[in-house]
């Protein structure tokens, strides 16, 4: 088997299986919960000929794109939002892929016609605004009831993805007080129907009106139930959006060890050779000038 050549997929499976065997052996010796620490995983990949430092990068990416991303979604009055930061610097091609992915997720397009541009509306479509370091994707549903805004921004060597969702007229997502006002039309409807039925049967309209109003109050728990379901549904949508975009960035952008301009300047400065006093008396000043050029 020493001469056999393994494919990339087989190599991944071999390393994964080796890590599982190492975990089983470690558990047998220590009698603890099945698993490996980050240092133990680094030792395994080091023996496999891989760079151990990449394990910490992979672990960080795993934390950022884990399934509990929904727990990071927050409801702030009229906004449901979450954001994630990645150690990546996507290029223009990757940014275009992110916009295309958003259009695919929400089943829309960012190609606005002259009518949309004339009136400044884009119901059922997405509006994209690009600057040097920022791409903003803004989508409204066809009825205009909801709007989803995705901000993709490069800050230094880190990439920020922020997804937020709002309702029409800036309505709050989960406000028990404001939801009480939603019962008023129900109370009016039940009161009118109850009064009409009571008057036709018993000849007393006030009894039916009172009964209808009381019955409308029982609709409040039902209303609260559906509101909470709607909030959870939209939280899931926001979480899935940021997760899909972050995974696309991680898959499309390779890990590069970039150095900041300050570090490059420091490195260039460290290359400057200043002649010793003895040499300076013998060599012309051009030697220092040539060193500065280098």
Comparing 128-137, 178-187, 192-201, which segment has the lowest mean pLDDT?
Answer: 178-187
Structure confidence by residue, pLDDT tens digits, 100-147: 999 999 999 998 887 777 777 888 999 999 999 999 999 999 988 999
What residue has token string 């997502």? 173
Structure confidence by residue, pLDDT tens digits, 50-102: 777 776 666 666 655 554 566 689 999 899 999 999 989 999 999 999 999 99
Token representation of residue 158: 């880190």
For residue 177, list its beta bridge partners: none
* Cα distance between residue 214 and residue 225, in whole Å: 19
**pLDDT at residue 262 greater than cutoff 50:** no
Cβ-count burial of 137 within 10 angstroms (0-12 exposed, 13-18 middle, 19+ buried)? buried
Tell me what pLDDT residue 182 has. 73
> What would the mean pLDDT of 196-200 be, rounded to a whole number?
81
What residue has token string 């990339």? 8
- pTM beyond 0.95, yes or no: no
Tell me what pLDDT residue 217 has. 81
Nearest to 182 by CA among 152, 227, 150, 242: 227
Structure confidence by residue, pLDDT tens digits, 162-179: 999 999 988 899 877 766
- Enumerate domains of the chain plus CATH numbers: 8-64 (no CATH), 74-171+244-252 (3.30.530)
Judge contact between 245 and 150, C-beta under 8 A.
yes
Calculate the average pLDDT of the chain: 77
Structure confidence by residue, pLDDT tens digits, 36-47: 677 777 777 676
H helical segments located in the chain? 8-30, 38-47, 53-64, 92-106, 114-119, 176-180, 183-201, 205-217, 219-252, 261-270, 277-282, 286-293
Judge contact between 244 and 101, C-beta under 8 A.
yes
């Amino acid at each position: 088997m020493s001469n056999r050549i393994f494919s990339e997929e087989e190599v991944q499976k071999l390393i994964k299986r080796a890590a599982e065997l190492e975990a089983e052996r470690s558990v047998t010796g220590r009698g603890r919960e099945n698993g490996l620490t980050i240092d133990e995983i680094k030792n395994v990949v080091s023996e496999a000929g891989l760079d151990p430092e990449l394990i910490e990068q992979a672990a960080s990416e795993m934390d950022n794109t884990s399934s509990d991303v929904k727990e990071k979604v927050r409801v702030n009055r009229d906004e449901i939002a979450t954001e994630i930061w990645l150690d990546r610097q996507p290029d223009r091609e990757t940014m275009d892929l992110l916009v295309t992915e958003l259009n695919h997720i929400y089943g829309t397009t960012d190609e606005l016609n002259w009518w949309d541009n004339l009136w400044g509306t884009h119901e059922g479509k997405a509006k994209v605004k690009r600057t040097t370091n920022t791409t903003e994707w803004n989508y409204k549903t066809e009825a205009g009831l909801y709007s989803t805004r995705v901000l993709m921004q490069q800050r230094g060597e880190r990439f920020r993805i922020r997804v937020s969702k709002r309702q029409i007229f800036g309505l709050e997502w989960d406000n028990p007080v404001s939801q009480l006002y939603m019962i008023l039309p129900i109370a009016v409807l039940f009161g009118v129907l109850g009064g009409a039925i009571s008057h036709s049967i018993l000849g007393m309209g006030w009894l039916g009106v009172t009964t209808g109003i009381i019955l409308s109050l029982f609709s409040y728990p039902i209303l609260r139930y559906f509101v909470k379901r709607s909030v959870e549904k939209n939280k899931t949508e926001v979480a899935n959006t940021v997760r899909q975009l972050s995974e696309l960035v991680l898959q499309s952008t390779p890990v590069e060890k970039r150095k900041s301009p300050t570090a490059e300047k420091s490195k260039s400065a460290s290359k400057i050779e200043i002649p010793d006093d003895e040499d300076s008396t013998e060599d012309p000043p051009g030697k220092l000038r040539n060193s500065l050029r280098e």
